[in-house]
Chain A
Amino acid sequence: MSHDPAHGTPPGKGGAGASAPFVASAALGPEAHVMVGNADLFVNWARKSSLWYLLFATACCGIELMQAGASRYDLDRFGAVFRATPRQSDLLLVAGTITHKMADRVKRLYEQMPEPKYVIAMGSCANTGGPFYKDSYCVVKGVDLLIPVDVYIPGCPPRPEALIDGIMKLQKIIMQRKNYGAKA
């Protein structure tokens, strides 16, 4: 799913709104147009509402992840509990810088997670290498060079609300996924 970052989706309406510069509203994932049956709806609802995320905090975004899990923003409301082992978690929240020395560990963690797994790249370091894009010799320039990423959350570090917004967008994507019936 990694592709050349330079190309952007064609811009929407012209003119810069006061707060929202115009970027085409994010398409809801590759299978946005698929008709989803009832069995899928129930299964997707179950998967969406118990997203156990792996406690994987490498750098500053890890602190925002902790604060999102704490009392004020409370990820537990969404059924998202942190798990210590990749075996029991289905969401890999890459929060922080991934250096080359850490790269194969991230791949191994991703492969250890049981199948319906999702990845959120949180923060500029995970999206594109962020502040260390230009001059650092040992930072992986974006975690999608290593593992397929479902949702990118911009911010350095993104606010806990931005993280919850990213998780809710991931939940919408999960609701679209088609598991049973003939593949379209």
Chain B
Amino acid sequence: MTVRTDALPTQEMTINMGPQHPSTHGVLRVILTTDGEVVTRAVPDVGYLHRGLEKIGERVTYAQFMPFTDRLDYLAAMNCNCAWAWAVEKLAKIEVPERAEYLRVIVCELNRISSHLIAFGSYTADMGAFTPFLYAIRERERVNDLFEMLCGNRLTYNYARVGGVSGDAPPGFLEKTKEFLDYFEPKLDEYNNLISYNKIFVHRLANVAVIPAEEAVAYGLTGPNLRGSGVPFDLRKDEPYSVYPKFDFKVCVGTGERGTPGDCFDRYMVRINEMRESVRIVRQAVARIPDGPVMAKVPRLFKPPAGEAYFRSECPRGETGIYLISDGSVNPFRLKIRTGSFVAMNIFEKVTRGLMIADIVAVIGSLDIILPEIDR
């Protein structure tokens, strides 16, 4: 707390970047103590969207908890659905048919694209350029149309089931997906020309809030935040689950292109490149999807064997780990969901020391946090 006591004694100002602020990506409150524009301490205060999801998990059955996983991370609802399904299948050792796994990979990667689109769009909107945000939402609308055709809802899909998926792909779905991929791939280069390499944008992001590799590992960062610091750890490659080993894709790592590795620009560019990789995965999956059933034989009142399992899958915002304890009854006994945003918020206070107020907004955007994942 450096208080300059030379001629004019100045005092620090505490500002409430309160629960309602245009660029906190939801109801996050950051208590800033600033010395003019320079922030000396930024303490995040979370919990404004805590809805007690884990308590609900203990009171509903395994199948009934699936719609609640949509509300866990509503920008990547498919990934959370499938994470819950995979976790229960790992606990109860259920064999899922091949076509269901392919469908799950297709929808998870499509949802990763639409989640990164919102991350990219809202990040540029926080930096002041509002137009790329609307282009990103326009692309996201086309992904919504695909999901609406597949499972009947635009945002809270409730598509996966324990043992498979709720419904097979309607006719024309795979063609429409291919059509979307061909339409979407050139758009990424257009975004890069429009905003990613724009001088002002680069100056706002490069060398801001640098997270070195070992600090990212120590704080348990995962996903694009970890890969942005140069650690090539991707669960789909290093702890492969479902049918991911069948596809070849590159793990995008931050290389310090426009500044030092691990700065905001790297995390941003990792997400842009990851969208390209997801397009490649979905192309391969659509080309090689086998026929067959989409649902394994699972009794309606499903009672898994007693035991404990920890399953983690690669969600757009980092690793979503589900620690599931079952005592053999219809309801889960204990359910702990560990998410990427929760851990990203943990490092927020250390990273934002000495930055300016405009950079606080940049750091929130680069960590790509989302509040229901933090508060659950």
Residues of A that sit less than 8 Å from B by CB: 54-60, 62-64, 66-67, 70-72, 84, 96-97, 99, 101-102, 105, 109, 131-132, 134-139, 156-157, 159
Interface assignment of B350: CB less than 8 Å from any CB of chain A = no
- With contacts A56-B20, A99-B47, A139-B51 known, what are 18 further pairs, Cβ within 8 A? A55-B22, A59-B26, A62-B26, A64-B154, A67-B144, A70-B134, A70-B137, A70-B141, A71-B137, A96-B49, A97-B49, A102-B49, A105-B48, A131-B71, A132-B51, A136-B55, A137-B55, A138-B51
Interface assignment of B372: CB less than 8 Å from any CB of chain A = yes
Complex CA distance for A139 and B372, rounded to whole angstroms? 13
* Contacts known (A59-B372, A60-B71); A102 close to B48, Cβ less than 8 A: yes
Q: How far is the CB of B288 from chain A (nearest CB, A)?
A: 32
Complex CA distance for A67 and B142, rounded to whole angstroms? 12
A-B contact count (CB 8 A): 95
For B18, list chain A residues within 8 Å (CB).
105
Residues of B that sit less than 8 Å from A by CB: 18-20, 22, 26-27, 47-52, 55-56, 59-60, 67-68, 70-71, 74-75, 118, 133-135, 137-138, 140-141, 144, 154-156, 371-372
Contact B156 A102 (CB under 8 A): no
Contact B56 A132 (CB under 8 A): yes
Instruction: Please give me the 3 A-B residue pairs with the lowest Cβ-Cβ distance, nearest first.
Output: A70-B137, A60-B74, A135-B56
Contact of A101 among B50, B55, B138, B144 (CB under 8 A): B50
Contact of A72 among B47, B51, B71, B141 (CB under 8 A): B141
Show 24 A/B contacts (Cβ-Cβ < 8 Å), sorted by A: A58-B371, A59-B74, A59-B372, A60-B70, A63-B118, A63-B155, A67-B144, A71-B138, A72-B137, A84-B22, A96-B49, A99-B50, A101-B48, A101-B50, A102-B27, A102-B48, A105-B19, A131-B71, A135-B52, A135-B55, A139-B51, A139-B52, A157-B154, A159-B154
For A72, list chain B residues within 8 Å (CB).
137-138, 141
Complex CA distance for A62 and B75, rounded to whole angstroms? 11
For B67, list chain A residues within 8 Å (CB).
131
For B27, list chain A residues within 8 Å (CB).
58, 102
Contact B22 A136 (CB under 8 A): no
Contact B56 A71 (CB under 8 A): no
Q: How far is the CB of B112 from chain A (nearest CB, A)?
A: 16
Complex CA distance for A138 and B47, rounded to whole angstroms? 10
Contact A131 B155 (CB under 8 A): no
Complex CA distance for A148 and B140, rounded to whole angstroms? 34
Complex CA distance for A45 and B52, rounded to whole angstroms? 44
For A62, list chain B residues within 8 Å (CB).
26
For B71, list chain A residues within 8 Å (CB).
59-60, 131
For A97, list chain B residues within 8 Å (CB).
49, 51
* Contacts known (A55-B22, A63-B118, A136-B52); A71 close to B155, Cβ less than 8 A: no
For A159, list chain B residues within 8 Å (CB).
154
Contact A58 B26 (CB under 8 A): yes
Which residue of A57, A60, A62, A64 has the most chain B CB atoms within 10 A of its CB atom?
Answer: A60
